[in-house]
Structure 1
Amino acid sequence: MKPLKVVLHAFGPYKDKVYVDFSRLNEKGLFAITGPTGAGKTTIFDGICFALFGEASGENRNDQTLLRSHFADDDLYTSVELTFELKGNHYNIFRQKGHQKKQNKGITGDKIEFYKIENEEKVPYCQEFNKTSIVNKKVEELLGINADQFKQIVLLPQGEFRKLLISDTKEKEEILRKIFRT
């Protein structure tokens, strides 16, 4: 999976829309996101993981209330849109996290959309379009790994790659079999 573009809105520390254009990296297969502490590196990882699986990239940040920007106005929804390439195909996933507005009694605004991009047009990738559990399953099927495996092998956030290195042989074998389909 190669991320092409991430758009964060009212996500983490970002009140306004933030665009991260990975397509500018061209054909670089492996890259590092670096910067000083507090620059927002982990927020980018969290955004990618949230778009795909509905959760943050690390166990210590999986409190869903922390994904919403504390600076966001009440009428803004927290959302992430990810466009990525896999096996020569392009996909777009949009996930919006609902929240309780001041005038409402309950949480509103949950939304999820998953598209395959064909001839520059978005075509729904699954029949049950706005059902989180079905979209999550489709993401897992497409990527061939689940959220925990994605966090361990694809993102490698904040030293959590260490978990893969120190995991037992059976767990490593399972992860590697899924990645290489053996």
Structure 2
Amino acid sequence: MNPERRDRLRDAAIEILAEAGGRGLTHRAVDDAAAVPYGTAKNYFPTRDALLRAAAERCQELYRATAAHGATRIPEDRAALAAALAALLRDVTGPGRPRLLAYQELQAEAARRPWLSAILDPIAAGDFTAFEQAQRAAGLPVTPERAAVVTLALHAAIPHLLAATPATLAAAGLDDLDRFTLDLLQAVYPG
């Protein structure tokens, strides 16, 4: 099977999950989004579960690529860390939006399909390690508990940023991501 076409189909599955949700993920929709002949997606991924697995694995690959790119910029202090975290959150409303919408849809599917959870778990688990290392590199007095609070706050912000409802964004302080990340670090690491 053609690896380029396979990736095109997996990217199309992510696009469908982002635009139409889990109910919209069909072989025909993936074929349309990938601009391939009907039956191609079914040939590569014979079942809906295979489509879900393909999308989840692609999300994991894209996450690793994003994380590897971010790892080259190690924050040297609190301000640099806050700026890096704000940039990650901005990505949620920008180029990362389709991937994160698809990831949210896959998380909902994983509640009913434990095998899918096993594919997705390294994404969230990796954030805890990476964000703890970033906080340590920034010279903050890190404990595992404090690092987890920062990571959980960032994760909790994602659905609100994806929904982009102005009142909720303002209530959570997410209408100013630079201020949000500075305030978050100040709350967890006063001083």
| Greater length-normalized contact order (CA 8 Å, ≥ 6 residues apart) | 2
Q: Which has a greater percent of strand? A: 1
TM surpasses 0.5: no
TM-score by length of 1: 0.32
